[in-house]
Homo-oligomer: A and B are copies of this chain.
Amino acid sequence: MNLKQLSHMLALSQTTVSRALNGYPEVNEETRRRVVDAAKRHGYRPNPSARRLATGKTGMIGYVLPTGATVDIDPHFVEFLSGLGDYARSHELDLVLSPADADDQETTYRRIVANRQVDAVYISSPRPADRRVALVNTLGIPFIVHGRSEGFDFDYPFTDIDNEGAFHEAARLLVQLGHRRLALINGDDRETFAIHRERGVRRALAASGLVLRDQHVCSLTMTEENGYRAARRLLEQSDPPTAIACSSLIMALGVVRAVRDLGLTIPGDLSLIAHDDVFPWLKPENFSVPLSTTRSSIRLAGARIAERLAARISGLEQGARGEVWPVDLVVRGSVAGAPA
Taking beta carbons and an 8 Å cutoff, which residues of A are in contact with B? 45, 47-50, 52-53, 56, 58, 60, 65, 67-69, 71-75, 77-79, 81-82, 85-86, 88-89, 93-101, 111, 114-117, 222-225, 228, 250, 253-254, 257, 260-261, 279-283, 286, 288
B residues in contact with A286, CB < 8 Å:
224-225, 228, 254, 257
* A82 in contact with B94 given A49-B116, A250-B282 (CB within 8 Å): no
Q: Are B47 and A115 in contact (CB under 8 A)?
A: yes
Q: Which of B86, B95, B254, B257 contacts A68 (CB 8 A)?
A: B86
- Known contacts A45-B114, A50-B53; 13 additional CB pairs below 8 A are A49-B116, A67-B85, A72-B82, A74-B78, A75-B281, A81-B97, A86-B99, A88-B99, A89-B99, A93-B99, A96-B96, A223-B281, A225-B283
* A69 in contact with B86 given A48-B117, A282-B223, A283-B224 (CB within 8 Å): yes
CB distance from A155 to the nearest CB of B (A): 30
Residue of B nearest to A76 (CB): B78
Q: Which of B52, B93, B94, B279 contacts A49 (CB 8 A)?
A: B52
* A94 in contact with B97 given A45-B114, A254-B286 (CB within 8 Å): yes
B residues in contact with A115, CB < 8 Å:
45, 47-49
CB distance from A12 to the nearest CB of B (A): 23
Q: Which of B65, B75, B222 contacts A75 (CB 8 A)?
A: B75
- Cα–Cα distance between A111 and B48 once the two chains are bound (Å): 10
Question: Could you write out 8 A-B pairs with CB less than 8 Å apart?
Answer: A49-B49, A67-B85, A67-B89, A71-B82, A96-B96, A223-B283, A225-B286, A257-B288
- Residue among A86, A94, A223, A260 with max Cβ neighbours from chain B (10 Å): A94
Q: Are B78 and A45 in contact (CB under 8 A)?
A: no
B residues in contact with A228, CB < 8 Å:
286
Q: Give the copy number.
A: 2
- Cα–Cα distance between A193 and B111 once the two chains are bound (Å): 39
B residues in contact with A47, CB < 8 Å:
53, 115
B residues in contact with A111, CB < 8 Å:
45
- Cα–Cα distance between A285 and B99 once the two chains are bound (Å): 31
- Cα–Cα distance between A240 and B283 once the two chains are bound (Å): 27
CB distance from A183 to the nearest CB of B (A): 21
B residues in contact with A52, CB < 8 Å:
49, 52-53
* A96 in contact with B94 given A67-B89, A73-B78 (CB within 8 Å): yes
- Cα–Cα distance between A280 and B75 once the two chains are bound (Å): 10
* A73 in contact with B82 given A53-B49, A97-B95, A286-B257 (CB within 8 Å): yes
Residue of B nearest to A108 (CB): B89
CB distance from A213 to the nearest CB of B (A): 27
- Cα–Cα distance between A50 and B254 once the two chains are bound (Å): 52
Q: Are A96 and B280 in contact (CB under 8 A)?
A: no
- Cα–Cα distance between A69 and B83 once the two chains are bound (Å): 8
Closest A-B pairs by Cβ, 4 of them = A89-B99, A85-B99, A67-B85, A223-B281
